[in-house]
Amino acid sequence: MNNYRLHHVDALRGFALLGILAVNIWSFADPYFSSGMNNPRYHEVLDVAVRFMTTLLFEAKFYLLFSFLFGYSFTLQMAAAERAGAAFRPRMLRRSAGLVVLGVLHGCLLFYGDILNLYGLLCLLLVALHERLRRTAEAGAVLLMVAALMLVVLGVLVMLTPEAAAPDLAGVSAKLAAFHGGAGSTLAYTSGEFPGIAALLMFGQGPSALAMFLFGLGAGRLGLLQSVDAFRPLVAPILRLGAMLGLGGALLYAAASAFAPGGALILFATALSYLTAPLLTAAYGVGMMLLFESRYGARVVAALAPMGKLALSNYLLQSLVMALLFTGYGLGLCDKLSPIAVIGLVPVIYLAQMALSAWWTTRHVYGPAEWVLRAITNWNVVRSGEPNESDVKSKSGD
């Protein structure tokens, strides 16, 4: 397991952070996001186009890539435990607990749409099942189909009881009041929303995230991210399916989100997305791997890998920056910026994180959040500037 392979994993994590930011920023900037209706202020053609393209290219794709890499890194954690001569299961149970704790703190204090809590809980299932599951790809595919079927059933129920899909106007008003108020009102709103949103994410994203864990686990066992040569015969089919079925499903999902955000249609489109979005996500990943091995690949990897090494810290930092920009913790800009201005902030924040990550990794082995999680996982504490033996051998075990 060489450093070349690990740099690719880190760089893919860094790339995934861009998509995560491009989606999560709307939870802070648009009070109507996930409310069942579109923001009436976003009525210009450019406004609709920005939201449509964001949904098309980013929503329901990049958390899948992050989930795949989480499953892939599960195998790196196994290798790290073996090198350290430590029992794997206790380490991963502590790691799962650490993710849950960090996720609850993040969800209550900064971003009620936190994903770390979900990952920590799903990781417990992976710990319990990984030794028994040999055919992880098949298990993941079955899980996606079952989840899609459940959404279809839910969509039928909504068609029979349309009042159940009424827009959450009260929630929009409460969010605006909280984010335009002071820090206290923002904290009260965020901590109050987190339990319900966490439960919805467990149902809405949990099955697909676990499926991608399983796909990543299988890929990690085969070492598929070592280089493109490890999966060369799959490159053309993945790109073809991503362009046809993946992008086709994304178009339908984006159209339903833009023009029928509430009701049964978006549930049917989401069910289709469960089956097609992983194909587009796979095409993104393969495309990036091809880029990493191109003439410009070394520069791209060098730019993205530091972000990926600090993926946990960068994920939390994104929430902190967005909270300071859009909520009562800071400027309170929620619902005050146009969609083009909101999406324009994404590269600014991302490039600033890229520069900060490059600077930090020249001085420290771990990011702040990575240091905390590693201390919990290994049940020991080292200074952030000191690598331990397993870090020398593998810096992407996190």
Question: pLDDT tens digits for the chain (398 residues)?
Answer: 444 447 899 999 999 999 999 999 999 999 999 888 899 999 899 999 999 999 999 999 999 999 999 999 999 888 888 888 888 999 999 999 999 999 999 999 999 999 999 999 999 999 988 887 778 888 899 989 998 999 899 888 888 776 656 677 888 999 999 999 999 999 999 999 999 999 999 988 999 999 999 999 999 988 888 888 888 999 999 999 999 999 999 999 999 998 877 778 888 999 999 999 999 999 999 999 999 999 999 999 999 999 999 999 999 999 999 999 999 999 999 999 999 999 999 999 999 999 999 999 999 999 999 999 999 988 877 665 555 444 434 444 44
| Confidence (pLDDT) at 57 | 95
Could you tell me if 316 and 163 are in contact, meaning their C-beta atoms sit under 8 angstroms apart? Answer: no
Q: Any residues with CB less than 8 A from the CB of 288 and at least 6 apart, and which? A: 11, 12, 15
The whole-model pTM stands at 0.92
Exposed, middle or buried: residue 314 (CB in 10 Å: 0-12, 13-18, 19+)? buried
* Exposure string over 188-202, b if 16+ CB within 10 A, otherwise e: ebbeebbeebbeebe
**What is the distance of C-alpha 58 from the center of its chain?**
10
SS3 at position 159:
helix
Cα torsion through 48, 49, 50, 53, rounded to 10: 120
d(CA 15, CA 202): 24
d(CA 29, CA 396): 33
d(CA 51, CA 39): 10
d(CA 331, CA 288): 36
Could you tell me if 30 and 342 are in contact, meaning their C-beta atoms sit under 8 angstroms apart? Answer: yes
Could you tell me if 31 and 335 are in contact, meaning their C-beta atoms sit under 8 angstroms apart? Answer: yes
| Confidence (pLDDT) at 87 | 87
| Confidence (pLDDT) at 384 | 56
| Confidence (pLDDT) at 164 | 59
How does DSSP classify residue 261? Answer: -
Q: So where are the chain's domains?
A: 3-393
